[in-house]
Chains A and B, each alone.
Chain A
């Protein structure tokens, strides 16, 4: 079965700093999904990547999928306290049966 690893496990940054979170798969990804979870709440979809080399941006968050489709990175530029939360990557086949999540990266942004 597919496994996803994330690094770092947790991250504390000063407001305004840039940061990167990585997600690595044990198998070639059909699609890679990034979600954000605020403490005590449900997950919110951020971005989906499907093509090797694909890059997507939304506001100050950029996600990339490598050419081999086994590694993805999430980059936040000029972090803000509103970026704090848990970031999870997820992946699965086309039918949802084998959908798995990474363990998550806990981000704290100090004002």
Chain B
């Protein structure tokens, strides 16, 4: 099993560009999460999906959209990137109702 995979690993964008971060898990988990990690701020929840077909906002959802494409995949989209969105983005998954999360390796995004 690959666990949680994320693509790309690195990305540089210019202000105003758009992109989608991809995440997939092969553990048949119902719940999936997107976090961003910034120095001094720790990990903050952007969006989460409790199950296929549902998504909910987390602590810092502004400037992002998500799509739970199917049970395996949960994508994060930046429609118009801003320098404040420079961060490391982590995707995670867990079984329904359980909070032991399995994390992907992260995507390091720089917006210039």
Contact = CB atoms under 8 A, between A and B. Distances in A.
B99 A31 contact: yes
The majority secondary structure among interface residues of chain A is loop
A99 B42 contact: no
* Interface magnitude class on chain B: 20 to 34
Interface residues of A, number: 24
Interface in A1-26: 1
Nearest to B31: A96
B97 A42 contact: no
Contacts of A42: 4, 90, 103-106
A48 B100 contact: yes
Interface of B: 4, 31, 33, 35, 40-45, 48, 50, 56, 58-59, 90, 92, 94, 97, 99-106
